[in-house]
């Protein structure tokens, strides 16, 4: 079972607080997984369609509680490649008109004009708004596995639906964005904290705990990786610097000037040769008396400068000999 399916399964089992909440949640399902069919002789048919069994059970229960309707459930194979079960909840034709008017999807005398907006009569209070968001998620929402990425989205067929959702979520401090994807309106959230807030808002308490546990593990792992990367970079820098310093000291030895160095530089040069992987701090602690990092760095820079001067002097000497040789020819 996917993380998204687990969340929907948990939400389908949450308590239906009162009739107002049941009506608000039903209104969300009407606008996300419902469809109207106009028949001849002024007849209207309405049905819900979902591939999620838990969502189908929830809709069936809501219809009874909120509207006193005992709907017919049909199980068919989906036309999609995976051939999943498709659960169709059909409302009896005689009850359809009143149901559509009650859910404010249609007006009493005109069923050809569908209203996808939602009035304050349905979204009357905090609990009703939460119920509508919950129904919208179960109907058209999805959440990615938090171990891979942080992403929640609601897919709407009408722009007004996505705007209503965005406004409702913003009322709870959840910043969602809207985009158009393949003629559908997508309301999405990518911030992990806001996704956690959304799960809590809808009442998916177990999902919140699972999500937070995964999030903590991921953040800890990322932090450890950052530290390791930083330490690796520092180690590479230490090794590179050490090799450069050792190369300079070897130049001094080659030119037999080690014994001519001041005592403080000579002592440090031999320590560097002996402890080629030691950091500046560690080298400083080996000196007597101990010396800080900046002091060690300053002395090693002096050693490198002496080596550079020797190489430069050697180059000038060679060039001078070549010039003399050329003048004799």
Dist. CA 111–CA 100, nearest whole Å: 9
Q: How confident is the model at residue 92 (pLDDT cuts 50, 70, 90)?
A: confident
Query: 3-class DSSP state for residue 114?
Result: strand
Pinpoint the alpha helices (H) of 126-277.
Answer: 126-140, 159-170, 192-202, 205-254, 263-274
- Residue 26 has a pLDDT of 93
Question: H-helix or E-strand containing 156?
Answer: strand 152-156
Domains of the chain: 3-203 (3.10.28.10), 225-321 (no CATH)
What would the two tokens of residue 153 be?
A: 């989205």
pLDDT recorded at residue 259: 87
Relative orientation angle of helices 192-202 and 205-254, to the nearest 10 degrees: 170
Structure tokens at 18: 């009162």
User: H or E element: which one contains 101?
Assistant: helix 93-102
pLDDT for residue 109: 64
Which band of pLDDT confidence, cut at 50, 70 and 90, is reported for residue 323?
A: very low
Number of C-beta neighbours around residue 16 at 10 A: 14
**pLDDT tier, 324 (very low <50, low <70, confident <90, very high otherwise):** very low
- pLDDT, average across residues 90-96: 85
Cis previous bond, 289, omega within 30: yes
* pTM above threshold 0.75: no
Alpha carbon distance 235, 152 (integer Å): 40
Burial grade of 156 (CB within 10 A; 0-12, 13-18, 19 or more):
buried
The answer to whether residue 270 scores a pLDDT higher than 50 is: yes
Task: Give CA separation, 65 vs 23, 109, 127, in Å.
Answer: 9, 26, 16
Sorted by sequence, the CB contacts under 8 Å of residue 115 that are 6+ apart come out as 104, 105, 106, 107
């Amino acid at each position: 079972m996917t993380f998204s399916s687990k969340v929907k399964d948990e939400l389908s089992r949450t308590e239906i607080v009162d009739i107002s909440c049941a009506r608000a949640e039903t209104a969300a399902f009407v606008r996300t997984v419902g469809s109207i069919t106009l028949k001849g002789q002024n007849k209207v048919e309405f049905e819900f369609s979902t591939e999620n069994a838990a969502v189908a059970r929830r809709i069936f229960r809501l219809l009874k509680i909120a509207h006193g309707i005992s709907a017919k459930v049909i199980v068919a194979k989906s036309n999609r490649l995976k051939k999943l079960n498709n659960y169709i909840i059909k409302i009896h034709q005689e009850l359809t008109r009143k149901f559509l008017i009650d859910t404010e999807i249609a007006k009493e005398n005109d069923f050809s004009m569908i209203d996808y907006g939602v009035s304050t009569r349905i979204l009357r209070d905090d609990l009703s708004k939460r119920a509508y968001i919950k129904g919208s998620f179960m109907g058209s929402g999805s959440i990615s596995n938090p171990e891979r990425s942080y992403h929640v989205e609601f897919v709407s067929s009408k722009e007004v639906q996505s705007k209503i959702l965005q406004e409702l979520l913003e009322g709870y401090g959840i910043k969602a964005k809207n985009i158009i994807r393949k003629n559908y309106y997508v309301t999405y959230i990518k911030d992990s904290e806001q996704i956690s807030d959304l799960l809590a808002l809808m009442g998916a308490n177990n999902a919140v705990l699972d999500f937070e546990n995964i999030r903590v593990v991921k953040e800890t792992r990322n932090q450890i990786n950052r530290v390791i990367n930083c330490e690796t970079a520092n180690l590479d820098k230490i090794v590179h610097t050490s090799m450069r310093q050792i190369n300079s000291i070897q130049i001094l030895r080659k030119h037999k000037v080690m014994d001519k160095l001041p005592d403080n530089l000579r002592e440090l040069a031999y320590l560097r040769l002996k402890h080629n992987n030691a950091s500046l701090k560690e080298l400083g602690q080996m000196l007597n008396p101990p010396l800080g990092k900046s002091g060690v760095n300053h002395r090693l820079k002096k050693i490198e400068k002496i080596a550079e001067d020797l190489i430069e002097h050697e180059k000038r000497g060679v060039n001078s000999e070549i010039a003399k040789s050329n003048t004799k020819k």
